[in-house]
A and B are shown apart, each in its own frame.
Chain A
Amino acid sequence: DTAVSQTPKYLVTQMGNDKSIKCEQNLGHDTMYWYKQDSKKFLKIMFSYNNKELIINETVPNRFSPKSPDKAHLNLHINSLELGDSAVYFCASSQNAGDYNEQFFGPGTRLTVL
């Protein structure tokens, strides 16, 4: 019973393509996040949604668009993929957006742009 799941696990695609990564959590949490981990393992938050509402939107190119159809899902769509988008993308969730809440991470999606 996976708490936070992501699909696909690996994604290899050509520059210029559009792709989506899906995330689902079965923890009943209100808040979900997307993080990007670069090749040096540096983790940076991209977006956060609380009850389907965007609450954190870091300086991310507008080619990246998150979508939350319901509280349990937060998908990430990327348009016109670039080489620099190659990274591991992690979805996470927490009970709510309170600052002390543990975040539960998914297994990651390794995106490779050729």
Chain B
Amino acid sequence: AQSVTQLDSQVPVFEEAPVELRCNYSSSVSVYLFWYVQYPNQGLQLLLKYLSGSTLVKGINGFEAEFNKSQTSFHLRKPSVHISDTAEYFCAVSRTGGGNKLTFGTGTQLKVEL
């Protein structure tokens, strides 16, 4: 079985500062990795995904994430955040042959302040 850990439940940051949201996963088989964002009172939207190849993945809205197999991590970063980035961020994994079943972390609330 897979599991996903997001250690930070809340991350406050000032506007234009950099941010990193941490995600670690556990799996006995190869996995695909995703970051989704949930704006208040909305559904989830895909930010980026890692399937294979280059370990640095770029997504929408200036976000990027780096896959680190040895540390089983997939941390999300943005060099300069905006107020509009305030949202809940979910890391998720799916495994080969799993029917695209996503296992989510518990989410990180990013709060961008002026």
Give the B-binding residues of A (Cβ under 8 A): 4, 31, 40-45, 48, 50, 55-56, 90, 92, 94, 96-103, 105-108
Contact = CB atoms under 8 A, between A and B. Distances in A.
Interface in B66-114: 88, 90, 94-104, 106-107
A41 B88 contact: yes
Contacts of B44: 43, 90, 92, 103, 105
Contacts, number: 65
Given A41-B88, A99-B97, A108 B51 contact: no
Contacts of B36: 105
A100 B43 contact: no
Contacts of B101: 45, 48, 56
Interface in B34-85: 36, 38, 41-46, 49, 51
Interface of B: 32, 36, 38, 41-46, 49, 51, 88, 90, 94-104, 106-107
B43 to A, nearest CB: 3
A26 B103 CA distance: 25
Given A42-B107, A99-B94, A100-B94, A48 B100 contact: yes
Contacts of B41: 107-108
Nearest to B30: A99
19 contacts: A4-B43, A41-B106, A43-B90, A43-B104, A44-B104, A45-B101, A48-B100, A56-B99, A90-B44, A97-B100, A99-B32, A99-B94, A99-B97, A100-B49, A100-B51, A103-B100, A103-B102, A107-B42, A108-B42
